[in-house]
Chains A and B, each alone.
Chain A
Amino acid sequence: MNSPSDPPDSAVQPGPVRRGVGTIDPRTGPTNVGVPRTRVDGRAKATGATLFADDMHLPRTLHCKLLRSPWPYARITGIDTSAAEAMPGVVKVYTGESFPIPYGILPVSHDEHALCQELVRFVGDPVAAVVAETEEQAEDALAGIKVAYEVLPSVREPEDGFVIEGPPIHERRGPGNVHKAVSFAFGDVDEGFAEADLVVEGDFHFGGNTHLALEQQATLAALDRDGRLTVWSSTQCPHYLHKHTAKALDMAPADLRIVATPNGGGFGGKSDVFNHEIVVAKAAQELGRPVKICLTREEVFLCHRGRHPIRMHLKTGLTKDGQLTGVHLKTLLDGGAYGSYGVASTYYSGSLTTVTYHVPRFQFDACRVHTNKPPCGPKRGHGTVQPRFAQEVQLDEIAEMLGKDPADLRLGMLEKAGAETANWLRLPSIGLGTCIKNIVKQSDWTNLHRKLPHGQGIGLACSSYLSGAGLPINWDRLPQSAVQLRFDRSGLVVAFCGATEIGQGSDDVLAALVGEVLGLPAMSIRLVTGDTDLTPVDLGSYSSRVTLMMGNAAVQAAERGRALIADAVAEKLSVRASTLVFADSRVFPADNPDVGMSFAKAVQLGEQKHGTLGTTGSYRPMAPSARFKGGGVGPSPTYSYTAAVALVDVDVDTGFVTVPKVWISHDIGRALNPTLARGQLVGGVYMAVGEALMESHEARDGRPFDEGRYLLRNPSMLDYKHLTHLDMPEVITDLVEEPCPEGPYGAKEIGQGPLTPVIPAIANAIYDAVGVRFHEVPITPDKLLAALEAKAKGAEDVVVGPKPFPTDVPYPEPMDVPPPWEGGNGRARGEGDYAPGQGSKARKGRSS
């Protein structure tokens, strides 16, 4: 590692950094890193000064509303917009024919159109758009659009989609409505089960739920004075929105500017490209006036892209001393009506199974099927929350069967730092053991587990998550995050970065890291972010990538600036640059602080010597070890780890579950701002308790009559049950800081991972409380009460779970990929060198 006094590698190397950078100067101690601080955007958010997309208004703005399908699956046989066009204030009515070019967030599933073409695929699919002088007029005019539909038989459950009668929801390789089916064998799992002393199997179901960000999506589009189009939108991924809007509107990307407004929460729900964004962009371009749309809460529920409902079959083999011998996981994902991130979700439903405990052989079969429901996509913990629930509940069962403490069982099978897993994931650092030991101690686990009175229980579970997807969505070799710095004579440093603040603290990380290198308080750094005209590309706020990737880029840019400034100051003071320290907004020799100068003066010296000061930094992760087809989903520069203990109180008369307290310990590598990091832990617990006990994004039909109807049951904040303040447990947070060599100053993610273990911990605690196993969530009072009644009538081993996992899921033959310890090289046996990340033109644009 560098001495902080020499220019660090990242400052001198020409290309993007590929490993973690940043060292706290031991001569001064930290300026921002690790110091609990008020977030840089906190004041504006607390006082209401932050401008969200819906706060934006331009003179002569027109307003847009979308007409959405009332049928789950139908063919549009005619649209008559004439009456709507004649209504007061209406400027334009659009239908699908104005939007012939398909788009989609993944290159492999460009299956969306801004307005439906021939088919509507779920209740809520946008069919037409009205642009009018006022929002009321636009809304009123929707009633003037007459659409004729031929209703088609709808597909409601994934297992109904293998063999279908009507037209498939999308033309794919199939069969039926299957979107994606994959299978991998990392070693011979049957051999593993043959070696096992105990083989446990179970069926699980994780119900669908949605993000419920407080801010409803809004978009404003306008031409600037030069006729170029600007789109302000509540998006997590301005870069992808840029790319796809340009595609869908057949325009040069350079003529389009996307500005990501601060998101009032995202959680994955604003990472797709949405119909309304494309529609208002086109309308503004065509009509020459600003056009705005703000979705209703119901429309946000319909846009969805939330947690996939997944049915799972999990088979695990162990030796009697608690070592895993093999794991076979089958998943069946209900994808809803569109592709979205679904191919990635399909892989994620298995790929992180191996990163916590040592799994010597692993088979994984996954299948995503389209149904006539709002499309599913990425939600906090993308695709990994559901299988982790199954895995951690099953481990609780296994611990009981083996007569082991659940914490000890897990500690005994942990994967080791530096390991490469059966499916070729590199694990640079693992603090999970410390996490488990900490919560066991803090929660007094040993004295409470299996020892609480009936109705009260305690449960434990663990998890892991990516710190950034190792590969970009669009395979290329470009940096995945970049930062530009401008050093002003006033001493002001402006950081430009495409990263997007969605509430997670992206701005704070950027300011803190730039400030850390330059000895400036985070609050003094000015930020320009998420603007495709002004900022270099960052791929977006998804996959928990921002702190690590943007952070490394920011440190590189700041170190380059620091080197230039130090060079000039050293010359002026006739000292060696390595003796200079940057601290307290000053630059001075470490051994003689009095001869130093203000940071502003130092910048002036730098500018005098080198010309205008501006530096860049960029980051691209190292290529993954996995080189088999499909191995691109799962690799990450590093992984965070979490352990949680939940205390529950079951009311045996009603089935209500309250969660008085949760202990959560997270391996974050290093907490750049412990205040925000702890906030993410509490937020993760909040969302997890909701998902465990109530949140449910589900459809219902028109029973008892009119069964052709099929729509989202509860699209409102009153009916979509989620925790209120009074339902929120007390949360005891614990940050494990064992710096990871891949992250900036050793930091790893904390935004997504901490949600995951809390859900199985609650299920395990309920078992401890009342002896009822839950193999599905949400765990609702009616299900629990029915189970308690069955138990009271003498039923043994009461398991509340789904019907048996279907046997006819059309999985392909498994791809045979030998694990590292079986002499593999990261490729599939018999396959050529399949190297994602280097691009593969043959696959481009093909539907999977």
Chain B
Amino acid sequence: MMRLPVLSHFTPKTLDEAIALASELPSARFVAGGTDLLPKLKRRQLGASALISLTRCEELQTIKRLDDGGWRIGAGVKLVELVRLPELRSSHPAIWQAASQVASPPIRSSGTVGGNLCVDPRCFWFDQTAPWREAAGQCMKIDPAVVCRVAPNSPRCWAVSSTDLAPAMGAARAKVRIVGPAGERTVPLPELYRDDGIDYMTLSHGEVIVDVEIPGSVGWRSAFWKIRRRQSIDFALLSASVEVFMLTDEVLEARVGLGAVGSCPLFPPEVAAVLVGTKLEDDVIEAAAAAAKKLARPMETSDMPSSWRRRVLPVAVKWALREVRGDDVTDARRRYGPQVLLP
């Protein structure tokens, strides 16, 4: 079998202790559920001299309903706990739908909210074993001397952002609280990310996501659609999350999040702008979907060809918009993601 490299493992009981440990150990990595990190360590895609487990840090375990109807959700909360929150399903359907479509039940039972937000961007050339990568001639993400295999003329890595929660939480105006050696800071969720397949997060060494604060959703409707090859386990080929604020049948405010179309989740204001002031008529939905297609530049990073992903992105956007409009989408859900039909 593939085995982990030899490394030290720490289980601090407080966040302060965890951060202090990280300061002492420059090549340590934080680990929570381990569902993304451990396979990558086994495949020798990433190095680490030590793992600092966050699973015993109480501060990361919060699930709190806020006065405005919003939520504070600890980074250490397991995805399955979100799936088991009917109140979240009714208040923030898109976030619930995203959580319930991450990977598979065993992985959701171990994987955490923070871990999903930090999922390492993926690429066919990188997410392979060491012998495979050697036989393939390596790629930029593992060896800076090699050019990017999917875009040889580009100076950067195009590994694709593969978090499901980020597009949904970002569209829901979530803010992320981060604690590190230099203290605490809070940023809007989109600012967690950089558009780079290697250096994809704005966290510095020793910084930990503590929790995510999601504002209340009175008047908002939302939906998240994930396109993937199989109906379980697979990472997104594309995802679209839509949030619209409507008191009557007119959209007063809108946000759109797109996942797996670049190295970071996209929250394009120009797509959202198409929706504001409309009643989500069919032609508006078409126009929004077309705007999303224009923006997205999927690369040959994934299981399906980029040409197909480009063609199908608008489909995900359309279904999300139809769902918030109130259409019956049961049949399409059955084809794309039956988990979200399960009680």
Contacts and interface: CB of A to CB of B under 8 A. Distances in A.
A781 B304 contact: yes
Interface in B215-242: 227, 229-234
Interface string A202-221: 00000000000000100000
B1 A294 contact: yes
B233 A724 contact: yes
B34 to A, nearest CB: 16
A298 interface: yes
Given A653-B315, A724-B104, A70 B231 contact: no
A704 B152 contact: yes
Among A68, A653, A719, the one with the most B-chain Cβ atoms within 10 Å of its Cβ is A653
A168 interface: no
B3 A135 contact: yes
A296 B129 contact: yes
A656 B335 contact: yes
8 smallest beta-carbon distances between A and B, as pairs: A726-B231, A70-B135, A782-B308, A724-B232, A653-B315, A711-B135, A123-B135, A706-B137
A71 interface: yes
Among A139, A654, A702, A718, the one with the most B-chain Cβ atoms within 10 Å of its Cβ is A654
A93 B312 CA distance: 52
> Is chain A's binding surface mostly helix, strand, loop or mixed?
loop
Nearest to B229: A721
B132 A781 contact: no
B135 A71 contact: yes
Given A709-B137, A715-B132, A726-B232, A296 B308 contact: no
B231 A136 contact: no
B135 A727 contact: no
Interface string A294-332: 101010000000000000000000000000000000000
Interface string A702-725: 101110010111011011010111
A781 B170 CA distance: 29
Given A136-B6, A139-B3, A653-B315, A721 B230 contact: yes
B133 to A, nearest CB: 10
Among B127, B135, B227, the one with the most A-chain Cβ atoms within 10 Å of its Cβ is B135
Interface in B270-286: none
Contacts of B147: 705
Contacts of A397: none
A785 interface: yes
A149 to B, nearest CB: 12
Contacts of B229: 694, 721, 781
Nearest to A67: B131
Interface residues of A, number: 42
Interface of B: 1-3, 6, 104, 124, 127-129, 131-132, 134-137, 147, 149, 152, 227, 229-234, 303-305, 307-308, 311-312, 315, 332, 334-336, 338-339
A430 B208 CA distance: 68
Contacts of B234: 718, 721
A41 interface: no
A736 to B, nearest CB: 32
A650 B305 CA distance: 19
18 contacts: A135-B1, A135-B3, A139-B3, A296-B1, A298-B129, A651-B335, A654-B227, A656-B335, A712-B132, A715-B132, A721-B230, A724-B104, A724-B233, A726-B230, A726-B231, A780-B304, A781-B304, A782-B307
A724 B231 contact: yes
Given A136-B3, A296-B2, A785-B308, A718 B135 contact: no
A472 to B, nearest CB: 36
Nearest to A72: B135
B131 A709 contact: no
Interface in A779-827: 780-782, 785
A658 interface: yes
A727 B230 contact: yes
Interface in A116-163: 123, 135-136, 139
Contact of A658 (B3, B227, B335): B335
A782 B305 contact: yes
A785 B137 CA distance: 32
A651 B332 CA distance: 8
A243 to B, nearest CB: 30
B229 to A, nearest CB: 5
Contacts of A715: 128-129, 132
A655 B231 CA distance: 14
A125 B278 CA distance: 62
A718 B234 CA distance: 7
Contacts of A655: 308
Given A715-B129, A727-B232, 11 more contacts: A68-B131, A123-B135, A298-B131, A655-B308, A656-B335, A715-B132, A719-B124, A725-B232, A726-B338, A782-B305, A782-B308
A112 interface: no
Given A136-B3, A298-B129, A705 B152 contact: yes
> Is chain B's binding surface mostly helix, strand, loop or mixed?
loop
Nearest to A302: B131
A649 interface: yes
Contacts of A727: 230-232
Nearest to A783: B308
A793 to B, nearest CB: 14
Nearest to B332: A651
Contacts of B231: 724, 726-727
A298 B229 CA distance: 21
A694 B230 contact: yes
Contacts of B3: 135-136, 139
A713 B303 CA distance: 10
Contact of A781 (B131, B149, B308, B338): B308
Given A705-B152, A725-B232, A719 B335 contact: no
A718 B233 contact: yes
A296 B44 CA distance: 14
B55 to A, nearest CB: 24
A754 to B, nearest CB: 22
Among A68, A709, A712, A719, the one with the most B-chain Cβ atoms within 10 Å of its Cβ is A719
A658 B229 CA distance: 11
B38 to A, nearest CB: 14
Among B124, B149, B229, B315, the one with the most A-chain Cβ atoms within 10 Å of its Cβ is B229
Contacts of B6: 136
Contacts of A658: 334-335
Contacts of B127: 718-719
Nearest to A651: B335
A649 B152 contact: no
Contacts of A716: 128-129
Nearest to A705: B152
B238 to A, nearest CB: 10
Nearest to A142: B131
Nearest to B232: A724
B207 to A, nearest CB: 29
Nearest to B129: A298
B230 A70 contact: no
Contacts of B227: 654
Given A724-B104, A726-B338, A702 B137 contact: yes
A704 B104 CA distance: 34
Interface in A585-641: none
Interface in A60-87: 68-71
Contact of B131 (A70, A718, A721): A70
Nearest to A690: B230
Contacts of B136: 702, 709, 711
A726 B339 contact: yes
Contact of A649 (B1, B230, B335): B335
A721 B304 CA distance: 11
Among B124, B231, B336, the one with the most A-chain Cβ atoms within 10 Å of its Cβ is B231
Contacts of A702: 136-137
A136 B4 CA distance: 9
Nearest to A216: B1
Among A69, A71, A725, the one with the most B-chain Cβ atoms within 10 Å of its Cβ is A725
A546 B286 CA distance: 59
Interface string A654-676: 11101000000000000000000
